[in-house]
Amino acid sequence: MERRVGTTEYVEFAGGLIAFDVIGHGPLVVLSPGMADTRATYRFLAPLIADAGYRVASVDLRGHGESSTGWRSYSHADTARDLAEVIGKLGGPAVIVGQSFSGGAATIAAATYPELVRAVVEIDPFTRPPQISLGALLRNDHNYGRGALLLGQFVYMGNLDAWVRYLGVAYPGRKPADWDAWLSKLQATLREPGRIDAARKMASSKPAQATLKDAAARLGQVRRPTLIIMGREDSDFPDPEAEAGAIVDLLPKGMARYVMIDKAGHYPHAQYPDEVAAALISFLASVA
């Protein structure tokens, strides 16, 4: 029987600590979450991947979860380096799974450290610069307008209540079974000194925005199989399927495809882990 919960480990470099845990045995898969989230976002998905015969490392972003705060910057390129350090410690290469903010980091990691990256999976990724649709905002399509407003309140004002309400929009319909307990723990973590500040810097600092452009520009340099998984009801994008298709089109021809998860929002891996696991494990088998 594989371990269902890993013990926290750390990799230290550049004066900081990146926290992660590992379950399972087999080829390495590294899971990296989105901004203002923790590795617990993969609490349902990680065991499913491990049970399929993989060694799964779930990582906390710098400044988040159990990773240290006080880093000089929090860009996509920084996260790509952090993931490379984790892979180096565990022994790669690895398949990197990056959700939301970490989608751009996964792209940069694959382009910068190809010897460490076997393949890439991006879940509802912010790999391209955000595409703002005024018409969708005014029409409130797919809760897009409401989600964008709440996200802005968190990023620009550090309003934790706005982030909690944003999550209510980003998880449309069905919530995870442990929603209340998980949300309470996430809020407690974000109240720790430096956590919200790290998330805000990750989302809005000029270096992060510049790197976001770099992530999109580097899609054409990714020479690794890539799968995009997108929630069909993701309120962070005016048209989630169009966004998934646009990312695939920017990758080398024949290297990428996308899968839509019906009824899911920005966090399909937590809302519909079985469906995401089926798509992801099939992809992993194809690149083994």
Asked whether residue 25 is domain-assigned, the answer is yes
Q: What percent of the chain has pLDDT over 90?
A: 74
Among 67-71, 195-199, 200-204, the range scoring the smallest mean pLDDT is 200-204
Asked whether residue 155 is domain-assigned, the answer is yes
- Mean pLDDT to the nearest integer, 94-101: 96
What are 29-78's pLDDT values in tens digits?
A: 999 999 999 999 999 999 999 999 999 999 999 999 999 999 998 989 99
Asked whether residue 100 is domain-assigned, the answer is yes
Range of the domain at 226: 9-287
Report DSSP state, residue 124: S
- Mean pLDDT to the nearest integer, 183-206: 90
Asked whether residue 3 is domain-assigned, the answer is no
**pTM of whole model > 0.85?**
yes
Q: What percent of the chain has pLDDT over 70?
A: 90
Cα 90–chain centre separation: 20
Euclidean distance between CA atoms 124 and 230, whole angstroms: 5
Cis peptide bond N-terminal to 93, omega within 30: yes
Euclidean distance between CA atoms 78 and 212, whole angstroms: 11
Asked whether residue 1 is domain-assigned, the answer is no
Asked whether residue 51 is domain-assigned, the answer is yes
Classify residue 55 as left (phi > 0), alpha (psi -120 to 50) or beta: beta
Question: Tell me, what's the pLDDT at 3?
Answer: 43
Euclidean distance between CA atoms 6 and 56, whole angstroms: 9
CATH number at residue 259: 3.40.50.1820
Question: Tell me, what's the pLDDT at 247?
Answer: 96
Considering its fold, how many domains does the chain have in total?
1
What are 208-231's pLDDT values in tens digits?
A: 555 666 788 889 899 999 999 999
Asked whether residue 121 is domain-assigned, the answer is yes
Euclidean distance between CA atoms 125 and 104, whole angstroms: 7
Euclidean distance between CA atoms 50 and 126, whole angstroms: 26
Report DSSP state, residue 116: T
Euclidean distance between CA atoms 201 and 194, whole angstroms: 10
Asked whether residue 2 is domain-assigned, the answer is no
